[in-house]
Amino acid sequence: MPNNTLMSDPIVQSHQAVREATDRSMLGLVVEQARRFAAREIDPIAFDRAAQLPRRVLKAAAEAGLFGLAIPESYGGLALSLGDICQVVSELATRDGSFATSIGLHNGLGTRGLIAYGSQSLKEKWLPKLASGEAIASFAATETGAGSDLMAIRTTLTPRGEQVRLDGEKSYVTNGGFAGLYTVLARSPEMGGARAHSLVCVPRDTPGVEVGAEEHKMGLRGSSTVTVSFDGVMLPMENVLGTSGQGIAYAQHILTWGRTIMASGCIGAARNALNAVLSYVIERKQFGRSIGHFGASRAHVATMAAKLWAMEAMVERTGIEDINGGSIDGISGATKVFCSDEAFDICDRAIQLHGALGFLSDLGVERLLRDARVTRIFEGANDVILVFAGTALIALSRSDAGRRCHATVEPDLEEVARAWERVEQELQESLDRVRKKYGVKAIRHQLVLQRLARAHIALQAASASLWRARAVDAVARSVARLSVQQLLATAKENLSTLESSEIDESNHLQVTEALYRLGAMPQPVRA
């Protein structure tokens, strides 16, 4: 094992340590620069009201290097890892979700396909421009008839001699209004088989590309969301990424990055909400005391911190798994679902703690909730990801599922670590019961699948929380402990409702059949 021998060499280890320390220190500088940039240039309330990001801010972001985070150094970027990009994006999102979304999308969904699968010449042509911010990247997969179901895409890519022709229309294209390059997912039945899809890079100025007007949105109003249509757009064959026909597989990889980066944006929103609460609950007095000293408020604040701890742990762990070369297909979906759900809950609690003031837009807390809402929908609706995750869980054989043990935990977290193992055992037993009870028909029971997935995700988050609490101070350990305790309660609650799933499903069926037939809520008819 030559690698092991090399890595055990103390000199090599020391070089490795120096390199890692240098990388850490560079990341620290980039994050600090992002924080200063955000404080100086970003006015979240103004962007929200104007429903756009000023051009000068995008230009300043380009000058600050924020468009080159993911791009290899040889093309003028910083070549940051997924985990490091997440740290920068969460820092930006602490100031403003719209701006962080634009930067995050460019560095994730927008450029990932070109970096991972683009030809040398395509990369040479575009990556320097994308790194400098001369061109901004966008990703176009969704259509009006194809959201979570990517196989329903109707946009087509067909070979025409040395070129390809693109026809169709994409909806909800983030960054679409100011993007210079779109990565588009299209059906390509003549390129890779009847069910084949391909990814193709489309420069905005190509004849036949038409960019629609900005959508009016509930949140992330400063970000750009448009429809982009392609009418007989002719492109060189080299603009097709990687092997033609592999578009869905490539898109799934690109989505692992997109979902993780999006989750880091959720962290920023949650951090912002918690910071706003911490300064308010001490200052605000009712019944002669700071409201933060009431037990009901403490419950909210402590829960917000515990949830934020777990969100940060999930994103950090996903980033590390990606660096280690493991598949992040499953965990990036779990991280996305977990962080988007928790960010919304944290922002909601922040409004509650601010009382009527939280409802006013000048404070900016209500904007956090509006901005957070869509994260539970885009890049895969949480409901759908949960069904897929539940299906994947029951399709795994027991040995595949495994039990992730925590080799070392802090002594005062031992008790919750053991509790984690007991609940994990309960999950495995529940999975066995579901497999046995329903067989292959389990996929017809979406409520069961979602409850299993929710339990599993809560356990993953609890595991990440424990892992993140290695060698941390007492305050952090107390936050981590609460986080694990609350997540185990969530997992147990989901497992305990499995038994009643059939009754619940039957009730849901009965009520919805009547409502769908009537088309409205019926008024009760009394005898």
Partner 1 sequence: MNSHVNNDQSKRRQRIIALVAEILELDDPKSIKPTDRLREDLGMDSLGSLELLSTISEELKLDLEMEDAMGISTIEDACAFVEHHYAEQHPNE
List residues binding partner 1 (CB under 8 A).
151, 193-196, 248, 388, 391-392, 394-395, 397, 435-436, 438-444
Q: What tokens were used for 3?
A: 């690698």
Nearest approach, Cβ of 396 to partner 1 (angstroms)?
9
With the CA atoms of 283, 285, 289 and 291 taken in that order, what torsion angle do they form, in degrees rounded to the nearest 10?
-80
Nearest approach, Cβ of 504 to partner 1 (angstroms)?
20
When the beta carbons of 227 and 332 are compared against partner 1, the nearer one is 332
Contacts of 45 (CB under 8 A, 6+ apart): 361, 362, 364, 367
When the beta carbons of 152 and 299 are compared against partner 1, the nearer one is 152
Q: How many CA atoms lie within 13 A of 236 on its CB side?
A: 8
- Phi, psi (5° rounding) for residue 246? -100, 15
d(CA 81, CA 107): 11
- Determine contact, residues 450/383, Cβ cutoff 8 Å: yes
Residue 215 designated active-site: no
Place of tokens 């424990």: 466
Q: What tokens were used for 425?
A: 């055992």
Cα–Cα nearest to 183, from 122, 133, 224: 122
When the beta carbons of 71 and 394 are compared against partner 1, the nearer one is 394
Q: What tokens were used for 496?
A: 């305990």
Pairing mode, if any, of strands 181-187 and 137-140?
Answer: parallel
When the beta carbons of 132 and 391 are compared against partner 1, the nearer one is 391
Q: What tokens were used for 181?
A: 């390059």
Nearest approach, Cβ of 338 to partner 1 (angstroms)?
21
When the beta carbons of 194 and 527 are compared against partner 1, the nearer one is 194
When the beta carbons of 104 and 330 are compared against partner 1, the nearer one is 330
Nearest approach, Cβ of 187 to partner 1 (angstroms)?
10
Nearest approach, Cβ of 248 to partner 1 (angstroms)?
8
d(CA 307, CA 465): 10
When the beta carbons of 329 and 421 are compared against partner 1, the nearer one is 329
Nearest approach, Cβ of 392 to partner 1 (angstroms)?
7
Q: What tokens were used for 372?
A: 């957070």
Given the residues 143, 312, 379, 424, select the one marked as catalytic.
379
Cα–Cα nearest to 96, from 219, 224, 263, 268: 268
When the beta carbons of 65 and 245 are compared against partner 1, the nearer one is 245
d(CA 461, CA 400): 19
When the beta carbons of 343 and 394 are compared against partner 1, the nearer one is 394
3-state secondary structure of 520: coil
When the beta carbons of 31 and 248 are compared against partner 1, the nearer one is 248
Pairing mode, if any, of strands 137-140 and 225-236?
Answer: unpaired
Q: What tokens were used for 223?
A: 């970000």
d(CA 255, CA 263): 12
Return the number of other C-beta atoms located less than 10 Å from residue 42's C-beta: 21
Nearest approach, Cβ of 269 to partner 1 (angstroms)?
31
Nearest approach, Cβ of 451 to partner 1 (angstroms)?
17
Return the number of other C-beta atoms located less than 10 Å from residue 107's C-beta: 30
Nearest approach, Cβ of 241 to partner 1 (angstroms)?
18
DSSP string, 435-478: HHHHGGGGGG-HHHHHHHHHHHHHHHHHHHHHHHTTT--HHHHH
CA distances from 365 to 74, 263, 342, 405 (A): 41, 19, 16, 39
Nearest approach, Cβ of 494 to partner 1 (angstroms)?
20
Return the number of other C-beta atoms located less than 10 Å from residue 477's C-beta: 18
- Determine contact, residues 427/394, Cβ cutoff 8 Å: no
Return the number of other C-beta atoms located less than 10 Å from residue 511's C-beta: 10
Active-site residues, by number, are 379
